[in-house]
Amino acid sequence: MSHTRADLEIAAFAIDEVVEGTLTGRDGATLRVSSPQLAVGAGEPALAEATVEVVRPGDRVRITNVLDAVVPDVRADDPAATFPGVLGGAWDDAAHPQIHRLRGAAVLPVCDWEAGGLVGPEEFPGSYVDMAGPGQDRSPWGSTVNIVLRCVPAPGASVADADAAIRRASLDLARALAATTLDADPDDVRRVGAPPDADEELPAVCAILQVASEGPLTDTFFDGHNLRDLMPRVVDPTWLFAGRLTNGAYDWPGVRNTTANYQDLALVRALERAHGETLRFAGLILAPGYLDTAEAKRRGAEASTTLAAELGAAGAICTTFSSGNSHTDTMLTVRALESREIATTALVCETNGGLTDHVSEADCLVSTGNEDELVPAWTPDRIVGGGDGEAGRAIAMVHYLGSCVETGDGPWTAVPA
């Protein structure tokens, strides 16, 4: 990975309704989805079933066993290169890629690993999106029209094979849905790429995006390759918007970095908006979290700091991946940055017991919410995704997909009470 800035055009198409039909297509803001025609999951021997179901905001539905969220994207100039490395195509920096993107709709792959006998009880945390009720506003996908891709692993398939098949199927479905726009005029077009020159007097601020890759069900992918050997490196933020960074790490859902987060990272968007106004966006560093040893954590923190200094950053914003162990990576990175006099803030979630880790240098923190707070009990009319969905029971915030995500994409915060 190098960090040459590429240009990218993102053409957005608003979707406010999705209906199931005999053909897949789009009529204005209405998306028609034909599950048989899409044949999602066909040719995936590790999947016994892959069925599509549409759920809408206001439906009294709880979606369960949610793995990821994906924004429907297609690379309009080269559809085969959509989600490069996963769906077969390769990225070409020399081209001027154009992404067509559906806005207001999402693909949510779900899989009941426990029912498939692939994980034991309590090994996989409950992962929900409520389309109505008190939990609806906890997950950002409570307010999008969702195309739920329900996957059932084939008997005898390994977790790794089933997971890879599910990821391919969900990204393939996202591409197929966005492909309905290929000959249409977008609602708006955004161009991203190398930032224009900005006043040198403005402070340079970089972002450090923490990801983790530890093995099947806990991997993050760049161009389809897992990032288990990632060392901190500067990356072109445009690559994220182009769908090159995808999620396969199904940690606690509330603090899970989804593919959709990477596709439209709010922190990069906000830094690009502020560029030339209040700051200079110095660059994006992709850094590993959940590192195994104290030495690896220290090295990771130092390496991120070295890169931030090379970018000329006077300030840095650290994101955090999931809960627990990774908070130590974040805190050590804050400490290392501050030791180089780079003013740092970090995004972290809280628990009922406070922070998981803290260093004295972390004096400027953004709270992404208290993951332990209980959301009042609600009984949906229908469960989509299997299991009992803990219907009728109060559920901790951390079980709602993306509720306390520490990338800066969420609105939640915790305050004294």
Interacting residues toward other proteins by CB under 8 A = 122-123, 137, 203, 205, 215, 252, 265-267, 269-271, 274, 278-279, 292, 314-317, 323-325, 343-345, 347-348, 350-358, 360, 362-370, 373, 397, 405-417
Please name the helix (run of DSSP H) or strand (run of DSSP E) that holds residue 315, with its range, or none.
strand 315-318
* Burial tier of 272 (Cβ tally within 10 Å: 0-12, 13-18, 19+): middle
Minimum distance from residue 257 beta carbon to other proteins (Å): 13
Minimum distance from residue 415 beta carbon to other proteins (Å): 4
> Are 398 and 139 in contact, with CB atoms under 8 Å apart?
no
Q: How far apart are CA 150 and CA 171, in angstroms?
A: 13
Minimum distance from residue 112 beta carbon to other proteins (Å): 19
- β-strand 17-20 against 30-33: which pairing, if any? parallel
Place of tokens 């209980």: 374
Minimum distance from residue 348 beta carbon to other proteins (Å): 7
Minimum distance from residue 148 beta carbon to other proteins (Å): 25
Minimum distance from residue 125 beta carbon to other proteins (Å): 8
Q: How far apart are CA 276 and CA 406, in angstroms?
A: 25
Q: Minimal CA–CA distance to 367: which of 349, 344, 345?
A: 349
Q: Which is nearer to other proteins, 44 or 373 (CB)?
A: 373
Minimum distance from residue 110 beta carbon to other proteins (Å): 21
For residue 364, give both structure tokens. 């400027």
Q: Which is nearer to other proteins, 82 or 259 (CB)?
A: 259
> Are 169 and 111 in contact, with CB atoms under 8 Å apart?
no
Q: What's the order of all strands across the beta sheet hosting 47-55?
A: 47-55, 145-153, 105-111
Minimum distance from residue 29 beta carbon to other proteins (Å): 25
Q: Which is nearer to other proteins, 223 or 361 (CB)?
A: 361
For residue 100, give both structure tokens. 């067509």
Minimum distance from residue 139 beta carbon to other proteins (Å): 13
Q: Which is nearer to other proteins, 162 or 347 (CB)?
A: 347
Q: Which is nearer to other proteins, 22 or 360 (CB)?
A: 360
Neighbours of 186 (CB within 10 A): 18
Place of tokens 């693909």: 107
Q: Which is nearer to other proteins, 217 or 303 (CB)?
A: 217
Q: Which is nearer to other proteins, 51 or 413 (CB)?
A: 413
Q: Minimal CA–CA distance to 137: which of 390, 406, 369?
A: 369
Minimum distance from residue 372 beta carbon to other proteins (Å): 8
Q: Which is nearer to other proteins, 196 or 353 (CB)?
A: 353
> Are 238 and 192 in contact, with CB atoms under 8 Å apart?
yes
Q: Which is nearer to other proteins, 122 or 183 (CB)?
A: 122
- Vertex 260: Cα angle to 293 and 53 (nearest 5): 120
Crossing angle, helix 294-310 and helix 325-339, to 10 degrees? 40
Q: Minimal CA–CA distance to 79: which of 103, 98, 104?
A: 98
> Are 404 and 168 in contact, with CB atoms under 8 Å apart?
no
Please name the helix (run of DSSP H) or strand (run of DSSP E) that holds residue 52, with its range, or none.
strand 47-55
For residue 53, give both structure tokens. 């179901």
Minimum distance from residue 295 beta carbon to other proteins (Å): 14
Q: Which is nearer to other proteins, 227 or 337 (CB)?
A: 337
Q: Which is nearer to other proteins, 104 or 408 (CB)?
A: 408
> Are 407 and 386 in contact, with CB atoms under 8 Å apart?
no
- Show Cβ contacts of residue 137 under 8 Å, excluding neighbours closer than 6 positions: 143
